[in-house]
Each structure stands twice: as structure tokens, then as C-alpha cells.
């Protein structure tokens, strides 16, 4: 049996068999469309049948696994603590070994590695100089026939890398794991996180050569690439002294907590803002707020959603309106929205209709990928709202 890191190239039958077939996961799965194989219970059953030799691993089976968004909401509601992520990672790795990787996954994952290479950073920095000529979102046709409003490159991509941002009265030192989307597209969000942490008394260290966290690769079953990225990042992080790691992307945070094998303290920036209590106050302007809870914030990072609402309630002069489907998937899930455009748009439409009902001025969230999807949804479905990362909203309203 071949091994790579802490994952093995086999489907862990014992984990799959923990599923008691209750079907509760059906109620929260964004990809469920009426077929048994389109949600967690069915996908686990397929994995079990493949392991037992009752079913060949063919394109039909792979298609069911590929429709999974890996939001992990099934884990969140599972009464039997089935580690669905571990099973699907193994299944997709086995699938890759036997059937190969589809073009979109291969190109998408390679692009993440290219962005964080020396050449990729030079290309993106050059592109950033031209970004002022582009609208904030660019209408982009995708290989699967979908069209998305994609963010333009930031004017100064990787602009905060390799720097230390000191607090006036330091009470702690945080290492900021920025993540690819903040590095390349949402640099202002990175600056906002630093501004908030400095205000609260934390010096922020941003490593020079962090690469992609590897979670997209791991979730697609490309364990070899994940292990390579992880080892690089561990060496880079170990060069610095810090009390805790702060993130503004819950997928990165989840990978650091679950898959890097270190006993770090890893916080969503909003957790730090929340824990500061009365030290963190903000001034609104009679606006109405609603919030999209990113799936990985509560499934991977285990952050209680009450943290985000508690932070928003500290904005004086703002009203918080909780959406009915605030904790449901937005339909992005990285490459999933490109590979499964119809499923993604169905989920996205439902979210935007729900947010419209809140009559909020701002849709806030704490995931750059969700920001992309929500802004795309605002444009597509005509919501009279602005979708923005919570860090940017708060940094603009600090007292």
C-alpha cells in the first residue's frame, strides 16, 4: 500500500462504514439534485462498493464524486461524526491515479501554483499596473460555458508580503497567512486585517514566500501537490516568531488547523475582534447589514457563527438582519462553480433571493472566494446590495 504523507492511496472503509444511512446530510448538501449519488450518503456508499470490488471505479462513479463541493456541511450535521472529507480525499486521489485528472482541475490547480511562483508573481505585479484601466469585476467566459464577473488583479499584488506591521503598544504578535485571493485580487482586504489587528494592539508579521495553503489540491485528491506546498510553507512559517496565526480565508485556516500537523493557535481575524470586546467599536451610518457564513469557517475552522454576528452588533448606527439561509453554501467552492455551473448558479440564485429579502445594504462575509461569488450574484441577479469582506467593512468604520 503506497503512502504519501499522512494520507494513503486507498479509501478508508472503516470511516465510510461509520455512516448509518440516516440521510440527514441530504438536507444541507448544495449539490443534491434528487439522485442518491448526489449527496454524502450516496457518495460514501459508492466508495464502500468500490473498495469491496462490487463496483468498478469508472467515469460514472467519478462524476458523482466530482459534483461534491467539499463544503463539508454534511460533517456539520452528521450525528455519527463521519469524516467525510478524509473519505473523499482518498476517493479522489484513487480516482486521479486510475482515471486521470480532468482538464479544468488540472489547469486550475496549476494556476494556483503558478501564481505563487517567482515568475507568476512578476507577471501579476506587471498586470497590477494595468488594473486601474479595468472595472472592479470583469465579465469572464469560462471553459464550461459559464460566465462570471471575476475580480481584477489588485494594483499592488503581494504588496504586504515580507513586512512587519508594528502595533503602537504591542500585546501580541500574529503571523498573517494571507492566502492566494488576498495576495492577488483582494489586497485591500489584507491591509484591512492588518489595520484592525494593529488597532487592537497586535503586531502583524507577513511572511515573504508563503505559497498556496494546498487545500484546493488536497480537496481534489492531489495529495502529492498538497504535501509539497505544505512542506514549503512550514519552512517559511518556522522562520518567524509569533504567538498565533491569523487568517481572513477560512479554507486556509482549516488547512492550517487540520492538515499541517502543528499545534498552532489559528484564528479567523473576526475571532480576535470579537474577543477584544469593548476595545473594538465601530461607527456605522444607519445602514442595514446581513451576513453570509462561509462553510469552512464552521466546518473546518469550527468558528461559532455567533462570533460574526457579535462583531457586527458592535457597529454603532447599523442594524443586523439575519438571512434565513445565512449558513448555506454560496455556490462558489473554488473550481466547483466552474466545473458545475448549473448547480452553482442554482445555489447562488437561492442565496441572492434570500439576501434580497433582508433589505440589507451590505452583504458581509469572511471568505474572499465567497466575496467573489456574492459580487457575481449581485451583478447577475440585480440585488441592490454591496457584497464586501467583513475586514474591509470594519476597517473603514473603526472609531
For the chain, the structural domain boundaries read 3-99, 281-395
CA 273 – CA 389 distance, rounded (Å): 14
**Between 3.40.50.1010, 3.40.50.150, 3.40.720.10, 3.40.50.1860, what CATH number should domain 281-395 receive?**
3.40.50.1860
User: Which pLDDT tens digit goes with each residue over 236-270?
Assistant: 999 999 999 999 999 999 999 999 999 999 999 99
Question: Grid coordinates in use for 32?
Answer: 443534491
Read off the pLDDT of each residue in 323-347 and give the average, rounded to a whole number.
Answer: 95
User: Which has more confidence, 222 or 6?
Assistant: 222
Asked if residue 84 has pLDDT above 70, the reply is yes
Q: What is the pTM of this model?
A: 0.93
Q: Are 362 and 391 in contact (CB under 8 A)?
A: no
CA 219 – CA 90 distance, rounded (Å): 9
CA atoms within 13 A on the CB side of 63: 5
User: Which pLDDT tens digit goes with each residue over 138-180?
Assistant: 888 888 878 889 998 899 999 999 999 999 999 999 999 999 9
User: Which pLDDT tens digit goes with each residue over 91-135?
Assistant: 999 998 889 888 899 999 999 999 999 999 999 999 888 888 888
Residues in the chain: 399
Closest listed residue to residue 388, CA positions, set 359, 365, 369: 365
Q: Are 242 and 222 in contact (CB under 8 A)?
A: no
CB atoms within 10 A of CB 272: 21
Q: Let me know if 212 is exposed, middle or buried by CB neighbors in 10 A (0-12, 13-18, 19+).
A: buried
> Measuring CA to CA, how many Å separate 181 from each of 152, 190, 199, 313, 331?
11, 10, 24, 27, 17
CA 10 – CA 223 distance, rounded (Å): 12
CATH class (in words) of the domain with range 3-99: mainly alpha
Q: Answer whether 3-99 and 281-395 agree in fold.
A: no
Amino acid at each position: 500500500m503506497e503512502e504519501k504523507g499522512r494520507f494513503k492511496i486507498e479509501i478508508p472503509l472503516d470511516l465510510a462504514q461509520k455512516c448509518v444511512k440516516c440521510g440527514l446530510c441530504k438536507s444541507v448538501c448544495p449539490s443534491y439534485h434528487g439522485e442518491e449519488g448526489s449527496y454524502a450518503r450516496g457518495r460514501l456508499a459508492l466508495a464502500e462498493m468500490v473498495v469491496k470490488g462490487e463496483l468498478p471505479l469508472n467515469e460514472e462513479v467519478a462524476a458523482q464524486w466530482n459534483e461534491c463541493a467539499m463544503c463539508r456541511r454534511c460533517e456539520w450535521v452528521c450525528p455519527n461524526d463521519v469524516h467525510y472529507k478524509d473519505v473523499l480525499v482518498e476517493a479522489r486521489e484513487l480516482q486521479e491515479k486510475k482515471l486521470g485528472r480532468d482538464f479544468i482541475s488540472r489547469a486550475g490547480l496549476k494556476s494556483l501554483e503558478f501564481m505563487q511562483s517567482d515568475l507568476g508573481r512578476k507577471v501579476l505585479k506587471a498586470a497590477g499596473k494595468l488594473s486601474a484601466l479595468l472595472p472592479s469585476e470583469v465579465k469572464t467566459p469560462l471553459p464550461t460555458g459559464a460566465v462570471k464577473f471575476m475580480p481584477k488583479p489588485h494594483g499592488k499584488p503581494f504588496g504586504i508580503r515580507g513586512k512587519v506591521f508594528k502595533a503602537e503598544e504591542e500585546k501580541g504578535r500574529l503571523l498573517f497567512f494571507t492566502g492566494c485571493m488576498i495576495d492577488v485580487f483582494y489586497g485591500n482586504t489584507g491591509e484591512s486585517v492588518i489595520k484592525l489587528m494593529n488597532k487592537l494592539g497586535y503586531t502583524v508579521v507577513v511572511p515573504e514566500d508563503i505559497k498556496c495553503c494546498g487545500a484546493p489540491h488536497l480537496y481534489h485528491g492531489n495529495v502529492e501537490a498538497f504535501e509539497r506546498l505544505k512542506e514549503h510553507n512550514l519552512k517559511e512559517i518556522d522562520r518567524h516568531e509569533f504567538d498565533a496565526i491569523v487568517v481572513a480565508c477560512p479554507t486556509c485556516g482549516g488547512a492550517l488547523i487540520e492538515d499541517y500537523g502543528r499545534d498552532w493557535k489559528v484564528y479567523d481575524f473576526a475571532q480576535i475582534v470579537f474577543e477584544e470586546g469593548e476595545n473594538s467599536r465601530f461607527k456605522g451610518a444607519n445602514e442595514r447589514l446581513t451576513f453570509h457564513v462561509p462553510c469552512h469557517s464552521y466546518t473546518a475552522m469550527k468558528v461559532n457563527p455567533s462570533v460574526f454576528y457579535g462583531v457586527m452588533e458592535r457597529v454603532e448606527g447599523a442594524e443586523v438582519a439575519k438571512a434565513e439561509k445565512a449558513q448555506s453554501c454560496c455556490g462558489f467552492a473554488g473550481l466547483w462553480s466552474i466545473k458545475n455551473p448549473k448547480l452553482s448558479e442554482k445555489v447562488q440564485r437561492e442565496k441572492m433571493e434570500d439576501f434580497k429579502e433582508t433589505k440589507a445594504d451590505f452583504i458581509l462575509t469572511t471568505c474572499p472566494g465567497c466575496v467573489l461569488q456574492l459580487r457575481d450574484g449581485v451583478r447577475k441577479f440585480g440585488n441592490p446590495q454591496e457584497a464586501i469582506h467583513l475586514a474591509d467593512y470594519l476597517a473603514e468604520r473603526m472609531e
